[in-house]
Structure 1
């Protein structure tokens, strides 16, 4: 079953690369008592993710935060080393949080996993965005085509805030 507006996010541990090394990050730590924009990509360094989806959130960071958002988080089914390298390569390190769903547990718990084996990627996340308030999904925007970033784009999210 796919998560829906009004549902609470599952309690799970994810990974984040920090200057001190990898750390476990619980969904409670990310979302409890906070207003967070979360967007997911099929994979770090992949074309649409790197050339369209992520840059939109980076360029609109200040506008999003000005609307009362505490944090902007990007999640992908990649390991924390890859997510950290992607943050550095895009200039987004310290501006957005890059969270690794290394085993797809979070993605599967949301019902937003996609089998992209045909493209050589294996199990990944669908492309989506959501506004989460105190762990509860307030908006959810899932792309029909993983190669597009329109309904889940930063501009669409700003219109929903």
Structure 2
């Protein structure tokens, strides 16, 4: 499992940009930047939609005011689902990244098999990444939502 001080893996994610599919490399999204990344088990799921993503939407300006270049939400969903979810939650300030094949999630050891719920998904977590290096990491215990929220991240910046 990835730890503070680790480098992010060099894989691609999927992001819709102006209605077109793009596949930015991790280096493109994180290289030379200060980025807050948070991961959710699935788009449109209850805690993710009612609390986790909305918290980052509400605090995006305050987080960016602390010198953060971008905020990225990632889930083991495709870019079309992530884009629709972002639009449904007014997440204009957040990059909604799909990890449809779970390559990123598995390569950092944050994958979990949820069985009939949805198969391979991500553990809920947040991290601060500076130039591709993890500087802060908040991993939730299964079923909990206590440390990966936007306020906790803001308070730690």
- TM-score bracket relative to the smaller structure: over 0.9
Q: CA deviation at 1:159?
A: 1.4
Equivalent residue, structure 2, for 1:85: 84
Instruction: Give the secondary-structure state (helix, strand or coil) at the position aligned to 1:13.
Output: coil
5+ unaligned residues in a row in structure 2: which ranges?
A: none
Q: What's the offset of the Cα at 1:66?
A: 0.5
1:148 Cα shift? 2.9
Cα RMSD, aligned residues only: 0.9
2:121 is aligned, of 120, 124, 129, to 124
Q: Distance in 2 between matches of 1:139 and 1:101?
A: 21
Partner residue of 1:155? 151
In the alignment, which residue of structure 1 is the partner of 2:109? 111
TM-score normalised per structure 1: 0.95
1:136 maps to which residue?
A: 133
Provide the TM-score with structure 2 as the length reference.
0.97
Structure 1: gaps of 5 or more residues: none
Specify the alignment match of 1:22 in structure 2: 21
Aligned to 2:73: 74
- 3-state DSSP class of the match of 2:14? strand
Q: CA deviation at 1:121?
A: 1.1
